[in-house]
A = this chain, B = another copy of it.
Amino acid sequence: MQERVKKPTFDVIGTRPVRPDGVDKVTGRAKFGADLKMAGQLVGKVLRSPHAHARIKSIDTSKALALPGVKAIVTREDFVEQASEFVPAGEMLINYRDVVRNVLAREKALYEGHAIAAVAAISESAAQAALDAIKVDYEVLPHVIDEVEAMKPDAPLLHDDMITAGVTPVPTKASNVAKRVEFALGDTAKGFAEADLIIERDFKTAPVHQGYIEPHACVASVSEDGSAELWVTTQGHWVVRAHCAKLLGWDVNKIRVTSSEIGGGFGGKTVVYLEPLALALSKKTRKPVKMVMSREDVFKATGPTSGATMHIKMGAKKDGTITAAEGELIFQAGAFQGSPVQPGAMCAFANYDLEHVKIVGYDVVSNRPKVAAYRAPGGPISTYAVESVVDELAETLGLCPLEMRLKNAAKEGTKAAYGPKFGPVGLVECLEAAQDSEHWKAPLGPNQGRGIAAGFWFNIGGETTVSLQLNEDGTLSLMAGTPDVGGLRASLSMMAAEELKMDVSKVRPIIADTASLGYNFLTGGSRSAFSSGMATVDAARSIIKQACQRAAKLWEIPEEAVTWEDGEVRPAGENAGKHKPMSLSDIGKIAGKTGGAIVGYAAISAQGAAPSFGVHIADTEVDPEDAGRAIHPSYVEGQYQGGAVQGIGWALNEEYIYGTDGRLQNAGFLDYRVPVASDLPMIDTIIVEVPNPRHPYGVRGIGETPIVPPMAAIAASVRRASGVRFFELPMSPPKVLKAMKAAGKA
C-alpha cells in the first residue's frame, strides 16, 4: 500500500484504529440475518416457478394448509395491487406494480425461480411438505433469455402493456424494450470526420451476481394490533420499511426494522424479496416467521447485474486526441424494467474530455430474475466496452495507452455528456500515480501482458440522520441509520473523534433501527461514509456549540465570550483565564443542571457527493484510485481490493448459463465460479487523495469506482498476453484457448 498524501494534519482521520465491529465479528458474537432466533418462530419457505415463462391459471393451497404443522400460506391474493407509476422511495423511483409482482407472481411467472407462494410451518420439513402440496396450474409460454432476441418484433412478450418510454412518437405496440435513453454533446459526424483512425466494435458481457457471502434472511414478528418487528440483512432498513408498508398497505410506523450485521450486499440488498412474505405470514399466524434463502434461491430469484450487448465507435487523431465517440448499450433488465442502462450510458465516456459524443441505451426485459444494483450499477459494463476500444486505438496508433488517456482525461471544467461540468476530480492524478508506480515500469515475462483502464462513478448523497449523545462522563454514543457494510461505524466514530478532539475509543457507534432515527436512505451509491459522515460532523459541531452555551451559562458570560480549542471550552477575550477550561467530560457532568442532555442531532439531505475516478493496471497488481479523503485507510484498501477481485471474476469466470428451457444451469458456487483467495494475485493499492471540497473532511465514496475499470484493464492485459483481442465477457480459460488456437497463437 502506498498513500499519496496531500493532507492537512489530522489527529484521527487517516489513522487505523481498531475496528469497532471487529471483536464481535472475530468472536462470532456478530448477529447476521439468519442468526436471530425468536421464541416460537415458524419456518417460512417459498414455492418458486419451475418455468421461465408461464401463465398462472390457479393456485390451490387447500391440501397444503391441511397438512400437520402448516400454519399459513400467502399468495398473490394477500398483497395489495399497486399502480403502475414511479413513486419516490428515498432517492429511488420505484414502480410498486412491478415490485409486488416480483415478490409474488400474479398473472404470470416471468422467470425460473419467481416466487409463487410462501408458507409458514413449524419445521423445515413441514414447510417443504406444504410447498410440495401446493397445486399450481401453469400454462407454459414461450420464453426469451437474451436481450437482443428479446428486442425482436416477434419475441415472446413479457408484459402485454409495455410501451417503450423515451421514444417519439410514442410506439403503438407493446415490446420488451422498457426505455430508451440518450446523452449527446456536439456533432459526432463532424468529430469522426476529424479522426485519423476510427474503431468500431461489438461487445457482450454476461450478467454476474453480487455474490455476497450471506444469503437473504429475515425474521418478522407481527402482533395482534399490527405492530411489527422485522430483523433483516439489508443495505437500507428504512427502504425495506417503506417497501413492506407499501406492499402490505400498512402504516410505515407500524413496522420497526432492525438491520442485522450484513455479510455483503454490493447493491443486491437494496430491494425486498422475503421481507413482505415474512411479515404477511407472521400477521396471519401471530408468530415470528423466519425466512432464509438457499444459495440456489439467491441465484435464481435475486438480482444479478445486467448482461449487455454494446456497440462502441470512437475516432482519434494520430497524436491520440479522441475526436468523437458513439455508443449503443442494450442492457438486460430481467423480468421487470429497470436495468442500470442510464448510469451505464452516463459513465461510458465520462473518463474523457470530449467535444463530440453520443450514447444511446435500451432497457430490455427478458425471462431472467429482475436485475439489482451491483457496485456502480452500469458503469463497469459500459466502461469495459469503451476502454477496450480506447486500448485498441492506442495500440493501433502505436501510443502508450496510459499516455493516450492522460491526453484525453476528464478534468476540472470538463463538460460530461450527461450534463454537468466536473469540479476538481482526480483522474489525471490517478493516471500519473499509475505511471509513477514501480509496477507500471516493471518488465514483463514471456506470455505476459499489461493492461490499463480508467473508470468513473458518481457517488450520491441523500437523506441521512445521525444522533450523537454526549454522555455524563464525556463519552459519546453515536447512532447512524445506514447499515455498516464496509467500515462505516469506524469512519463515523473517527470523524466524531476528530471533530471533538477525543480518543476514538470513547465513541461507541451503533446502527439504529427505524424507530430510533429519522429516515435514512440506504447504504449504496458509495454514500454512507460521505453522507452519514457529513451528518456526524454536523452533529459533532452542534455538540461543540451546545458545550460552549452551557459553559457560558455556568460562567455567566456571553456565549460569544467562549471558544472551543484543543478539545476544551475556554473563556476568551477579556474573560480569558478567568474560568477553568472545561473538557467534554466536564461538560457532560453539568449537562443535566444546565438544561438537559447534550445531543447533536443531524437530519440532512446530503448534497455534493463528488464523483471519483479510478485507474486499474491489470497483471501488475497496482490499483490507484481517487478516494477523496481516506478516513480509515485499511477499509479503503479493502474496498479497492474487493472491487478488483469482483472485477477479475466478472472479466474471467462469472456468468449465468441458461439451458434452452430457460432454466439456470449453474445456480451455485460450485458451477458459478467466483475467484477464491488462491485464484488471486496480490492486489496493491495506491490511495490518491483529492479531497472533496463539499465535505468537511473531503470524503468521496470509495465503494463503487474500484469495480469500474478492472474488466477493461484485464481485457487489455489479456490482449497483450495472448495476442488476441476479446469482445465478450467472461474471458474464461476455454474461450481464451479456443481463440488463441484459432488465431494461431497457441
Is A463's CB within 8 Å of the partner chain B?
yes
Is A85's CB within 8 Å of the partner chain B?
no
Report the bound CA distance from A507 to B591 in whole Å.
29
Could you say which residues of chain B place their CB within 8 Å of the CB of A510? 256, 515
Residues B463 and A597 in contact, CB atoms below 8 Å apart: yes
Residues B223 and A519 in contact, CB atoms below 8 Å apart: no
The answer to whether residues A517 and B90 also contact, given A475-B252, A596-B464 and a CB cut-off of 8 A, is: no
Could you say which residues of chain B place their CB within 8 Å of the CB of A286? 27
Is A477's CB within 8 Å of the partner chain B?
yes
Residues B472 and A515 in contact, CB atoms below 8 Å apart: no
User: From residue 68 to 95 of chain A, which have CB atoms closer than 8 A to chain B?
Assistant: 88, 90-91
Q: How far is the CB of A219 from chain B (nearest CB, A)?
A: 14
Could you say which residues of chain B place their CB within 8 Å of the CB of A521? 592
Is A677's CB within 8 Å of the partner chain B?
no
Residues A472 and B252 in contact, CB atoms below 8 Å apart: yes
Residues A253 and B90 in contact, CB atoms below 8 Å apart: no
Is A123's CB within 8 Å of the partner chain B?
no
Is A160's CB within 8 Å of the partner chain B?
no
User: From residue 489 to 519 of chain A, which have CB atoms closer than 8 A to chain B?
Assistant: 506-508, 510, 512, 514-519
Could you say which residues of chain B place their CB within 8 Å of the CB of A39? 37
Report the bound CA distance from A453 to B346 in whole Å.
81
Residues B463 and A592 in contact, CB atoms below 8 Å apart: yes
Residues B253 and A597 in contact, CB atoms below 8 Å apart: no
Residues A471 and B252 in contact, CB atoms below 8 Å apart: yes
Oligomer copy total: 2
Residues B598 and A475 in contact, CB atoms below 8 Å apart: no
Pick from B462, B467, B592: contact of A519, CB below 8 A.
B592
Could you say which residues of chain B place their CB within 8 Å of the CB of A593? 88, 605
Is A181's CB within 8 Å of the partner chain B?
no
Residues B479 and A516 in contact, CB atoms below 8 Å apart: yes
Residues A603 and B592 in contact, CB atoms below 8 Å apart: no
Pick from B91, B475, B516: contact of A592, CB below 8 A.
B91
Residues B516 and A465 in contact, CB atoms below 8 Å apart: no
Residues A519 and B475 in contact, CB atoms below 8 Å apart: no
Q: How far is the CB of A591 from chain B (nearest CB, A)?
A: 7
Report the bound CA distance from A477 to B242 in whole Å.
14
Residues B88 and A592 in contact, CB atoms below 8 Å apart: yes
Could you say which residues of chain B place their CB within 8 Å of the CB of A604? 595-596
A interface, over-half SS: mixed
Residues A253 and B476 in contact, CB atoms below 8 Å apart: yes
Report the bound CA distance from A252 to B508 in whole Å.
10
1/0 per residue A235-264: CB within 8 Å of B?
Answer: 000000010010000011110100000000
Pick from B475, B595, B601: contact of A253, CB below 8 A.
B475
Q: How far is the CB of A737 from chain B (nearest CB, A)?
A: 50
Is A3's CB within 8 Å of the partner chain B?
no
Residues A599 and B245 in contact, CB atoms below 8 Å apart: no
Q: How far is the CB of A208 from chain B (nearest CB, A)?
A: 31
The answer to whether residues A473 and B597 also contact, given A23-B225, A592-B519 and a CB cut-off of 8 A, is: no
Could you say which residues of chain B place their CB within 8 Å of the CB of A506? 251, 253
Residues A519 and B227 in contact, CB atoms below 8 Å apart: no
Is A382's CB within 8 Å of the partner chain B?
no
Is A412's CB within 8 Å of the partner chain B?
no
Report the bound CA distance from A507 to B598 in whole Å.
25
Could you say which residues of chain B place their CB within 8 Å of the CB of A467? 467, 516-517, 601
28 A-B residue pairs with CB within 8 Å: A27-B223, A88-B592, A88-B593, A90-B592, A251-B473, A251-B506, A252-B473, A253-B473, A253-B476, A253-B507, A253-B508, A256-B477, A463-B591, A467-B601, A469-B518, A469-B519, A470-B518, A479-B516, A508-B515, A516-B516, A517-B599, A518-B596, A519-B597, A520-B597, A521-B592, A596-B604, A596-B605, A601-B601
Query: Ordered nearest first, which 10 A-B pairs have the shortest CB separation?
Result: A518-B597, A253-B475, A596-B605, A518-B599, A23-B225, A519-B597, A597-B603, A253-B508, A252-B471, A516-B516
Given contacts A251-B475, A252-B472, 4 further A-B contacts (CB under 8 A): A23-B225, A252-B471, A252-B475, A465-B599
